[in-house]
Chains A and B, each alone.
Chain A
Amino acid sequence: MSPRRTPEDWIAVLAMALLCLITFGNVLVRYFTDRSFAWTEEISVFLLVVMTLAGAAAAAARDNHVRIEYFLTGGSAARRRFLAVAGALVSTLFFLFLAGLTADMVWDEFRYQETSSGLGLPRWWYTVWVPALSLVIAFRAAVVLGHMLKRT
């Protein structure tokens, strides 16, 4: 657990704080004016996705993702090292793969000029962050992999 604050930490914290403010604002506005601003729902969902992926990158940097540690922490040192390296490698490759596939999804949305159902904004404005942040997760997993390889 490193105390250093990464850019992903800032993104996740800001997204979380904005989510609180928007939702609380909605409650207040509804009671004082009898109106609701439903259009914020789309923004909230967007922030939720950003918070998830940024937080996942932060968790990857600290190697905090949920896993079964039974075999990872037992057995010979060589086996532990092998599993740790293999796990980090698999994670890195998977998030690269996910970044590629989501980039393809965003490209289609861009090409066909899809718009969001609530605000009518171009959908790719929202979704382009998914491949970008997936790349960040892959990068953080790769850094962990690098540390594992260096440690003998």
Chain B
Amino acid sequence: MIGALLFTVFVVLMLAGVPIGVALGIGGALAIGVANADAQLLGLFAVPQNFYASIAKYPLLALPMFVLVGSIFDRSGVAQRMVIFAVAVVGRGPGMLPLVAITVAMVLGGISGSGPANAAAVGGVMIAAMSRAGYPAAFSASVIGAAAATDILIPPSIAFIVYSVMVPGASVPALFAAGMIPGVLAGLALIVPSVWISRKHGFGAGETGLPRPPFWRSLKDAIWGLVAPILILGGMRLGWFTPTEAAVVAVFYGLFVGMVIHRTVKFRDLFDIFREAAELSAVIMLILGLAGIFAYSVNTLGIADPIVKFIAASGLGSIGAIVLIVVILMFVGMFLDGVSIFMIFLPLLMPVAKIFDWDPVWFGVILTMKIAVGQFTPPMAVNLMVACKMAGVPMESTIRWVGWLIVSFLAVTFLVILFPELALWLPRELGY
């Protein structure tokens, strides 16, 4: 009964366009109040405690730091130099620029932790270049929106940080390592249809005659950016620094490259870079805090129990249950952004994961892959939205192209569902 109240209030407020965090907070607080009708102050003292405790966590510091890394590298000029170097390696011709765009997005994924920042960095360079070479703008936007989605799988990743904070037993380094192979596979899975479509329609034939950039000089220009993922991932691997510290090292490295080497970042830009990153992180972390109230209600009032019993009694089995979850979340993902989905559904899903004895790291990778697909599945597709805005096309126009990329990405997701070792082998090998 109280469970129904909690969800009805939450869903109605959310659909009415109330900020998601506020809807979570009101639903949670109301359920606490009704359940403790005879307690002092209706038991509402749990509201500020859970709100504060959900934000005041040291490991969460990695989140704003990696958001800041994304904002800095977005403007540091490394994306452009990586693109020139990639063209020098693969050459020119139909299908080459999508290949370059996806590869560069994957390398940038090893620096930044958020999809939209990646889409902005790659889109800023590639969209104009692809349109000059004769690719339709809607196709370019689709490729870039999808390519940027590999960012949250390839470490570092903001989605993994949020998951780790919410799920005990899934450490950030283990999740980061587990995302690597699925992320690279997803990138390859996007390259195949993009190149195939370009060849079939002859996109990009317009650039075949252009000169190829000189290899060594473009490598020299790109090396500052190419070293960054090695510094971040290698430094964590060698135990030089924790994920949070790796992010801060990347902040200073990015500022050095942007301000001293490439000179694309001016001193007066710093305020706006920091402001943008602070606001973006705050929006996520406020929801995280208010979702703490919601999660407390769900847990203490036993709201997940009927759902868990239903799934356990349905006879779906382990694979059936996870496919069901992915399908439901895909539907929900049409209206909600990925990180919010984590915060709303994890309290409900973790008990389900427990019955089937799913590895929390593997489960995190599967959910993150689902979120990654959602980042470029219209209508609620953050990455695609960024790419479409830069390309100046409406999102509807991409449906013709982006469908193939969605199918391809989903195929990799099901591979990881069927073969959990794709996610779990690397973290075990590295000893996390």
Q: Write the residues of chain A forming the contact surface with B, with a CB cutoff of 8 angstroms.
A: 5, 9, 12-13, 15-17, 19-20, 23-24, 26-27, 41, 44-46, 48-49, 51-56, 58-59, 62, 64-72, 83-84, 86-87, 90-91, 94-95, 97-98, 101-102, 104-105, 127, 130
Which residues on the B side are within 8 Å of A86 (C-beta)? 16, 18
Q: Determine, out of B147-155, B201-209, B244-252, B323-331, the stretch whose residues face the partner at the interface.
A: B244-252
Which residues on the A side are within 8 Å of B57 (C-beta)? 45
Q: Among A23, A49, A52, A90, find the residue whose CB has the most chain B CB atoms closer than 10 A.
A: A52
- Separation of A70 and B337 alpha carbons in the complex (Å): 13
Which residues on the B side are within 8 Å of A97 (C-beta)? 29
Within residues 33 to 69 of chain B, which ones have a CB less than 8 A from any CB in chain A?
41, 44-45, 47-49, 51-52, 55-58, 60-61, 64-65, 68
Which residues on the B side are within 8 Å of A83 (C-beta)? 16-17
B111 within 8 A of A: no
Q: Write the residues of chain B forming the contact surface with A, with a CB cutoff of 8 angstroms.
A: 13-22, 25-26, 29, 41, 44-45, 47-49, 51-52, 55-58, 60-61, 64-65, 68, 241, 244-245, 248-249, 251-252, 271, 274-275, 277-279, 281-283, 285-287, 289, 335-337, 340, 379
A83: min CB distance to chain B, Å = 5
Let me know if B282 and A87 touch, CB within 8 A: no
**A49-B52, A105-B52 given; A71·B68 CB < 8 A:** no
Q: Among A15, A20, A26, A87, find the residue whose CB has the most chain B CB atoms closer than 10 A.
A: A20
**A16-B274, A17-B274, A27-B241 given; A48·B15 CB < 8 A:** no
Which residues on the A side are within 8 Å of B17 (C-beta)? 67-69, 71-72, 83-84, 87
A73: min CB distance to chain B, Å = 8
Which residues on the A side are within 8 Å of B41 (C-beta)? 104
Let me know if A71 and B271 touch, CB within 8 A: no
B378: min CB distance to chain A, Å = 12
- Separation of A48 and B41 alpha carbons in the complex (Å): 29
- 25 A-B residue pairs with Cβ-Cβ distance under 8 Å, sorted by A, are A5-B271, A12-B282, A15-B278, A16-B274, A24-B245, A27-B249, A45-B58, A48-B60, A49-B52, A52-B281, A52-B286, A54-B282, A55-B279, A55-B282, A56-B286, A62-B279, A65-B20, A68-B20, A70-B15, A83-B16, A84-B17, A86-B16, A87-B17, A98-B25, A101-B44
**A55-B283, A87-B19 given; A45·B56 CB < 8 A:** yes
Let me know if A105 and B49 touch, CB within 8 A: yes
- Separation of A58 and B277 alpha carbons in the complex (Å): 12
Interface SS of chain A? helix
- Find A91's partner among B22, B58, B271, B289 (CB 8 Å cutoff): B22
Q: Which residue of B lies closest to A26 (CB)?
A: B245
- Separation of A8 and B240 alpha carbons in the complex (Å): 35
Let me know if B55 and A66 touch, CB within 8 A: no
- Find A65's partner among B16, B19, B44, B55 (CB 8 Å cutoff): B19
- Find A64's partner among B49, B241, B279 (CB 8 Å cutoff): B279
**A20-B252, A55-B281, A71-B15 given; A65·B275 CB < 8 A:** no
- Separation of A101 and B14 alpha carbons in the complex (Å): 23
Let me know if A101 and B45 touch, CB within 8 A: yes
- Separation of A17 and B244 alpha carbons in the complex (Å): 14
Let me know if A23 and B275 touch, CB within 8 A: no
A1: min CB distance to chain B, Å = 10
**A83-B17, A86-B16, A104-B45 given; A24·B249 CB < 8 A:** yes
- Find A104's partner among B48, B65, B277, B335 (CB 8 Å cutoff): B48
Let me know if A66 and B19 touch, CB within 8 A: yes
- Separation of A26 and B49 alpha carbons in the complex (Å): 29
- Find A102's partner among B48, B279, B336 (CB 8 Å cutoff): B48
- Separation of A46 and B289 alpha carbons in the complex (Å): 14
**A13-B274, A98-B25 given; A105·B335 CB < 8 A:** no
Q: Which residue of A lies closest to B286 (CB)?
A: A56
Task: Identify the 7 closest CB pairs spanning chains A and B, nearest first.
Answer: A55-B282, A72-B17, A65-B19, A12-B278, A102-B48, A23-B248, A105-B48
Q: Which residue of A lies closest to B68 (CB)?
A: A16
- Find A12's partner among B48, B65, B275, B336 (CB 8 Å cutoff): B275
Which residues on the A side are within 8 Å of B335 (C-beta)? 68, 70
Which residues on the A side are within 8 Å of B65 (C-beta)? 19-20, 23
A50: min CB distance to chain B, Å = 10
Which residues on the B side are within 8 Å of A66 (C-beta)? 19-21, 283, 287, 337, 340
**A12-B282, A51-B278 given; A102·B52 CB < 8 A:** yes
Q: Among B21, B286, B340, find the residue whose CB has the most chain A CB atoms closer than 10 A.
A: B286
Let me know if B282 and A52 touch, CB within 8 A: yes
B238: min CB distance to chain A, Å = 13
Given contacts A45-B57, A49-B56, 8 further A-B contacts (CB under 8 A): A16-B278, A45-B61, A51-B64, A65-B283, A87-B17, A90-B26, A95-B22, A130-B48
- Separation of A69 and B334 alpha carbons in the complex (Å): 12
Let me know if B18 and A52 touch, CB within 8 A: no
A132: min CB distance to chain B, Å = 13
Let me know if A68 and B15 touch, CB within 8 A: yes
